[in-house]
Each structure stands twice: as C-alpha cells, then as structure tokens.
Structure 1
Amino acid sequence: MTFTHSDRAGGHPWKGSPPFLLFLAVFLLTLSPALPGAQEDYVIGSEDVVEIIVWGHDDLERTMPVSLTGMISFPLIGEVKAEGLSATDLARVIARKLSDGYIVNPQVTVTVREYKSQRVFLMGEVNNPGTYTVTRENNILFALSQAGGPTKDAGENIVIIRPGRSVDRALTLEEAQPNQDQIIQVNLKDALAGDSASNIAIRDGDSIIVPRMPFFFVTGEVSKPGRYNLERNTTVLMAITMAGGLTAKAAPKRTRITREENGAKMEFRADMETKVLPGDTIVVPESFF
C-alpha cells in the first residue's frame, strides 16, 4: 500500500455451486489488485512496518516499525505519531514537518510493508480457523482466503461480531449479546457475485463466524431419500428434485412436512411451492392406488 504526498499547495450465479467453486472464486478474487478505497481504509498501528521515501533525498529513506506507543522517529523532524493514521495521512504529516525549514516542497511516499497491528479471528467452517492480520485488502473475502476458504459444509450466511472495545481473542455470540457488540450478517454468495455491500470491510478485533450449512431431510417415495444442504429459497419441489425425483408410487399431492417450532413437533400438508426451513423433514407418501 503506497501513498505519496507533496506539500505543494493545491495538491447470483453461485446458486447450487459446489463448495469448491466457492473457494475457487474466493481465491481468484483475492488475486485482483486491491481497490483504492479499501487500501486507504487501512489504519496504521503499533508494530506495523512502514517504508518512507523522500524523493530526491536517498539519505532519508527509512524502513522502520511503529513503536508500541505508536510513534516513529524520522531524521530532521524527530518523533512522529503514526498510529491511527493512514499512509496518506502519515505522508502528509511528514511532508509538512520537512517543509518547515528543511526541504522545499518535499515529495513523501509512505508504504506499509508489514501488517502486524490489527487482527481478526476466523471460526467455524473454514479450513484453517485462527487469528489473522488485517491487511490493505481488508474485506471479508480476503479474510476467508487467508483461512483457506470455506469448508464443504459451510453455510451461506456469515456472522461478524464487531466489539466496541479492544479484544485479544475471538468472541462468541453468547458473549457478544450481553455486551451489545455489533452483530453483522452477510451472505457469502452475494459477496462472490460482486455485491460490494456484502463484501464488507473488516476491522481490528472482528470475530468472523462461518456456520455450518443448515440441512433438511427427504423421506418416502423419492429416488434418493436422505439429508441435503439447505440453500436460500429452497422449495419442496426443489428438495424433491435434489432427492432424485419422485418414484412411480409417489403421491405428491399428499406430501407433508414435519417441523419443530418452539420445541414442539408439528406436521402439515405442503404443496410444491412451500419453502423449506432448516431441520424440516419432507415426507412423500405412497399412493393408495
């Protein structure tokens, strides 16, 4: 991430896709250059390593870590607070200080070489759960790619816990709710399809939870009874199709669903357009004739 400052005045294609395709898409997206807006969002913190170049003054080139107190020490101007600034802002500060009696119209470039100050936590259905640093590509897809992508059992809806305080470990929903931490839900397929509102920027301290894909069951007169992953807007007809379709003995008009609500099981007649919910059991009975 490189920014230059001069002190001169004036200046849903994924529906039904196998999980490995989701991971491939995540991987390919992270090969693309970071969007300028995403790069500018990165805030320098302690332990980050920055490179500073003053054009035409090779003797002033420095690569240095930001101290634990958030400061850097630069020739001629002494200590400068870097923590809390973007690379653009830091370049502007250094240029202003150098122009104060040292260099005429200094051209300053600041590049973040190592990202160490900001961390996020990935949990759930990712291949390599753990703690990862926030880099210039600070969005949800890049964070998932750092953790090896979603597993084959990953669900579509990702939960992000954003605490309003400094944390040094992952948070669970049970911990977040009493503290009124911000809880954000985004849809992975929407993010992969290019929806920028779903591919949100991540922040220091975020806990990213990828839940297991919800499922349903199909039993009775279908070709392949069993358990199936539940995607958005799945209907009874779609569920039966996933189960290989009806057998010759099926009575589709008497199809019913067994569903648990508030701890109690209920059963009701369903038509082909009824929406399937997590945990549903779809029962296709045999015809009387």
Structure 2
Amino acid sequence: MRGVAGLVGLISLVFAVLTAGCFEPDHSLIPPAQPVEVTSGLTAGDVFEVRVFGEEDIGGTFQVQGDGTIDFPLIGRVDVTDKTQAALAALLEQQLGDGYLRSPHVTVILTSRENLEVSVLGQVSKPGTFPYAEKLTLVQAISEAGGLNELAHARRVKLTRKGPTGVGTYEVSVKAITDGREPDLLLQPGDIIFVPLAPI
C-alpha cells in the first residue's frame, strides 16, 4: 500500500509541475486603466531645454513646477501651462526682446514628460521605458519592446499598476490575449510590465 500511495503522490507531483505553467490568471481582478488625456501642451513635471541663439548663458534645462511655471533668467516667473513648444518659444522671444535682447531667437525642445511612460522589463527583446500614448495596450507595449523572447513565460506576465486602492501587481496571460480568449488590456501612464522566465 505504501508503494501505491507513494506512486500516486509522485504522479500527482509530476502532474502539478506539468500543469503549473498552463493555469491562467483571472484578468477581471486587474483594476481598469484610468483615462488620461495626452495633450501637446506643457504640464507640471515636464522637462524641456531652451536655447537662445548667441546667448549661451541664458538658455538651459527647465522643469515645469506644480503651479505650471518656470523661473527663466532675466524674465523671472513664466506661466507655461498648456503652451506648445512653439508657443513658448514665441512668448520667450517676445519677453526677452522687451528690453533685454535684440531680436532674440529661441528654440524649445521637450526632453521628458512626467509620468507619461510605461516600462516593459524582463524577457523581451528590448526592455526599457517607452512613451505612453492614448489607448496603448499591453500587447502593443510588449511589441514596442521587441516582443517576447524565447525564454518568456507568456502566461505569467506581471502588471504593476496604481489603482484606486494603491499600487498592486497582477498576473496577465499574454497568450490568452493573443489567442483571442481574453481582450487586450489598456495601459495607463506609470504601468510596469514584467515578463518572467518560463519554467524549465
């Protein structure tokens, strides 16, 4: 009897190991992405570079403060809220030309947008951080990262997201999505996707 019981236990263990990778998580547990409006105008946290032609000491790198302003040399506080790069360049040219510089030429270059990125890490071809776009989905983000590599565990992808009750990590089956058994998931800025190694 002991031999039979041991054999049954061994078979159960082997079955559990073989089927562990086949179990798929419940996507309904994942909080839905919060709607985000991506605008072309500057918002708090954005980082940009200002270049003033022929005036090396005046330009520089600036970050939009919480009140939507920056502190610019010679001018002082400047409200940049919702201004495009071209509109801000024109405003700075106007204000610098008002008693400070003669016919200034200003260029504004956006270098970083606060919290408007998603990260794709782990077993993908090109892990890293990528710009968020409206209606970006999980599969699209993985595609931006070069797709899953041959070591990826497509049924156990982890999504870390800030939801109504705080930050949580949830399991997602990318295979179920690509097979058409589950809908693709919309992402939100700040989401982190981690693709683990498949079990040996």
TM-score bucket of the superposed structures, by smaller chain: 0.3 to 0.5
TM-score, normalised to structure 1's length? 0.32
Question: Highest CA radius of gyration, 1 or 2?
Answer: 1
Structure number with greater CO (CA < 8 Å, separation at least 6) is 2
